[in-house]
A and B are shown apart, each in its own frame.
Chain A
Amino acid sequence: MGLEERRDVETDVYQPAEDSALLAEAACERLDESDLVLEVGTGSGYVAGKIADETNARVIASDINPHAVRQARGDGVETARADLVAPFRDGEFDAVAFNPPYLPTDPENEWDDWMEHALSGGEDGRAVIDPFLETVGRVLAPEGVVYLLVSSLTGVDAVVERAGEAGFSAVAVADESFPFETLTVLELHQ
């Protein structure tokens, strides 16, 4: 990748951080090569690539951001540009992983570019999580599970409650504390 291209990627695509690593690790420990996996909002493609490499599962990665799907495909990840789970068939996936935009954001401070899309969860931090929870059940296989990264900044209890309203039971399968937030990976079952 040339310098100019690299600069575009760094300003337009969320690059892997502690949350990505925690989600990838939790998913890798629980999936195997027989699984068909979807990663929503893949960004750089790091989590999808990690799951594919470590488990040999087939992993499809989607993102709404054209720069993100290009970077992910460049790293050998199977990609589709999509709005959450909209273009995927009913009952198809054994697992869906999502590290959502979750930072609560003051509407007056939104800066309207791709990086904001990758980070901002709107005023309550759940602007993308809520529609995800309402739609993801459709694409899950009967025993399918969701691995959802949640921050204490968004509120784990609030997300668990929303998940319950969407028909899921939630178990925390991994967490890690940082000075300003605690990250949790929730495993959701229908």
Chain B
Amino acid sequence: MKESLLDILCCPLDKHDLELEDAEYDDDEVVGGDLVCTECGEAFPIEDGIPNLLPPDMREETPA
């Protein structure tokens, strides 16, 4: 993901801002790390460059 995507995203649970932590970069792409909610502290992982912003209980690879 581009770092500028952070300006468009928010925490899916409480809609507060997210902060990028432990970022790994490949050129100007963020390919790993966590997006952490500044309010509730929930961490959303960046997996292979794609932020996974599903609530924790929906995060698994299998459908529903």
Within 77-91 of A, Cβ neighbours of B (below 8 Å) are at 78-83, 86-90
B8 touches A73 (CB 8 A): no
> Which of A70, A81, A116 is B51 in contact with, Cβ under 8 Å?
A81
CB of B8 within 8 A of CB of A89, answer yes
CB closest residue in chain B, given A89: B10
Q: Which residues of A contact B48 (CB under 8 A)?
A: 70, 73
Main secondary structure of the interface of A (DSSP, over half): mixed
Asked if B49 contacts A73 (CB within 8 A), the reply is: yes
Which residue from chain B places its CB closest to the CB of A79 in the assembled complex?
B50
Give chain B interface residues in 1-55, CB to chain A under 8 Å.
1-2, 5, 7-12, 15, 44, 47-55
Q: Is the CB of B12 within 8 A of A86?
A: yes
- Whether A80 touches B51, Cβ cut-off 8 Å, given contacts A86-B12, A89-B10, A117-B64, is yes
A81, A83, A92, A113 pick with most chain B CB within 10 angstroms? A81
Residues of A within 8 A of B51 (CB): 80-81, 87
Collect the chain A residues with CB atoms within 8 Å of residue B61's CB. 66
Beta-carbon contact of B15 and A81 below 8 Å: no
List, in ascending order, chain B residues with CB within 8 A of A79's CB: 1, 50
Q: Is the CB of A87 within 8 A of B1?
A: no
What A residues does B2 contact at CB under 8 A?
A: 78
Give CA–CA (A113, B64) in the complex, Å: 8
User: A114 at the A/B interface (Cβ < 8 Å)?
Assistant: yes
A-contacting residues of B (Cβ < 8 Å)? Answer: 1-2, 5, 7-12, 15, 44, 47-55, 58, 61, 63-64
User: What are 13 A-B residue pairs whose CB atoms fall within 8 Å in the complex?
Assistant: A66-B47, A78-B1, A80-B53, A81-B51, A82-B53, A82-B54, A86-B53, A87-B53, A88-B9, A89-B7, A89-B8, A89-B15, A112-B63
